[in-house]
Structure 1
Amino acid sequence: MHPLVVAGLKFRFVKADSVFIGENRGGWIYAGQRPRHEVKCPDFYIMNSPLTLQELSNILDSELSPEDETTWNQERLTAIISIMNQALTEISHELDSDYQWEIRCPTQSEWIHAKNCEQIILQTGMKEILADAVSSNYRGAMMDGRPRRFEGRGPMQWHTATMEIHPKNPSIYALSSAPMDRQNIGLSVRLVVTPIRQGSPRIVPRSADYGANIRSELFWTTMLGVIPSFAIPWFRGLGDYVTEGWVNLLFGGLCVGFVTGAFWRPRRPVITYEDGVQQ
């Protein structure tokens, strides 16, 4: 597919495919990155690199200062996207007429899918703005690549998700966030031309199997903490201490078992698109 050009900006084609987001490792430290789930992205177009100062000047038809390239808030971002969507109507005949199209920042799934397809260049030390709202984990996440909206109230509603690139190694990146109700320095914007998802979304199930999780935790805490706590003094010939100091051994075993849970537990199931819940 040939690149798509909108208002002088080139967008590369990314073919529809599935991408897997999140972690399935069972340790508690990965709780905010679970569950690992499949997202089905449609065909879309993405900028190879974030907006430059010259490109921003051309869009706004005005001279900008150097710091304007990496200084963003919600008002400024909304204005740029509005201008680009107006320009999109002029070349809509080049797009698949079966869909309605829009320009916005990429979602996390679109961003990762484009990276996996080697269609984007990453800038070290930057934070790229995403279209997703912030969330504590992937429960309730969209499985068709549409933006996730903020759920709840509080100051985090003014934040947006970002992809933060390592200062030296562009192959290392992590999901982060940035407040958009004020000026932020050090942000960059990459845009996508993507179909507007219609109808109710398919989402990651909002609740886990708590019963299975509790049973697993009790089992592994016993196996990795409690049993060794009693077995070690027994095999060392301290049988009297096992019977007399069992409270201390039990407490110590529980502590060890809980600590191991922070770093290791069996991997959790991966949620496929078919396992999602239709809203």
Structure 2
Amino acid sequence: MDIEWEVIEPGKVLLGSDNRTVLFGGIGPKHEVKIDYQFEISKYPVKNNLSDKLILEGCEIASESEWSLAAKQQKIFGNDETEELSDRVNNSYWGKICDGRSFVSDNWIFGVGRRWEVGRCKGFQIEKNGNKSEYFRLVRNKIVLNESQKTNTLPSSPNKSKLLIEEILICFLAGIIPSFIWAYFNASPKYIYEGWLNLVFGGIFVGFFTILFWRPRTKTWLIKEI
């Protein structure tokens, strides 16, 4: 089987999610990747029996960044396949080098993949101990980066103090204050005086519960800020 290859020009692409809610959020943080090298990528996913052979001949499994840049340039396609990429993630992109190379985090729990359905593609998680994927996306003829050159790397972790302050404010504004307002209009002064602690804890619970469907958008990390 002949593989069709597409040339991908250097460029920038955004990956990740700025939504950290439980129901609608994705892997974060949202960040920009800058790929300074030209490379070739297989136009369609390659079946594993052929991809194994091509890897021995010098091809590589595409990184999520390379795949995303190729998709942005509208050079790759699929036909109802689930393809595996080379990145390995543990719930976030913190500590990622943003130059196009694969991101393999310590103690990773799933591989990064893509699933094609009726010509459209969406993210897919590859189980760590699952069966070998049937399809892979391959790249070749790319410039090998000098490991000693300056790279753009995301911080190793989020700003935990900022997140804590944000959660405290949300609990007050979305939980505790509305609890006391409700009690003021619907309960007796005695209930507020004697049950204020219950109102506080109830408000905290409501505030934390809202993380299921709402939180402020998180920062998008651009190359110039990394």
| TM-score normalised to structure 1 length | 0.70
2:89 is aligned with what amino acid? V
Report if the CA contact (8 A) 2:40-2:139 is conserved: yes
Moved over 3 A (4+): 28-32
Give the alignment of 1:217-232 within 5 angstroms: 217-232=167-182
Query: Are 1:105 and 1:130, in contact at CA under 8 Å, matched by a contact in 2?
Result: yes
User: What is aligned with 2:72?
Assistant: 116
Aligned to 2:123: 174
Q: 2:136 aligns to what?
A: 189
What corresponds to 2:102 in structure 1? 147
Structure 1 residue 256: Cα displacement: 0.4
For residue 184 of structure 2, the aligned residue among 207, 215, 234 is 234
Query: 1:193-219 CA deviation, whole Å, 9 max, x = no partner?
Result: 222222244321112211111111100
SS at match of 1:206: coil
Q: Which runs of 5+ in 2 are unaligned?
A: none
Secondary structure in 1 matching 2:87: coil
Q: Does residue 32 of structure 2 align to residue 38 of structure 1?
A: yes
Greater percentage in helix: 1
CA contact (8 A) 2:18 2:26 kept: no
Change (3 A) 1:165 1:131: same
In the alignment, the residues of structure 1 paired with residue 54 and residue 127 of structure 2 have an alpha-carbon distance, to the nearest angstrom, of: 18
Query: Within 1, Cα distance between the matches of 2:89 and 2:155?
Result: 17
C-alpha displacement at 1:128, in angstroms?
1.1
Q: How does 1:1-279 map to 2 (within 5 A)?
A: 8-28=2-22, 33-41=27-35, 42-51=37-46, 56=50, 77=52, 79-83=53-57, 85=58, 103-124=59-80, 126-152=81-107, 161-165=111-115, 168-179=117-128, 183-184=131-132, 187-193=134-140, 194-200=142-148, 201-236=151-186, 238-276=188-226
- Looking at structure 2, the residues matched to 251 and 183 of structure 1 have their Cα atoms a distance apart, in angstroms, of 46
Query: Computing the radius of gyration over CA atoms, which structure comes out larger, 1 or 2?
Result: 1
Distance between the aligned counterparts of 2:197 and 2:145, measured in 1?
58
Q: 1:28 and 1:160 mapped to 2: Cα distance?
A: 18
Are 2:115 and 2:124, in contact at CA under 8 Å, matched by a contact in 1?
A: no
Percent identity, aligned pairs only? 26
- Kindly state the Cα deviation for residue 183 of structure 1 after the two structures are TM-superposed: 5.0
Deviation at 1:31, TM superposition (A): 6.8
Q: 1:130·1:160 contact (CA, 8 Å) conserved in 2?
A: no
Provide the TM-score with structure 2 as the length reference: 0.85
Number of matched pairs: 222
Note the C-alpha offset of 1:161.
2.1
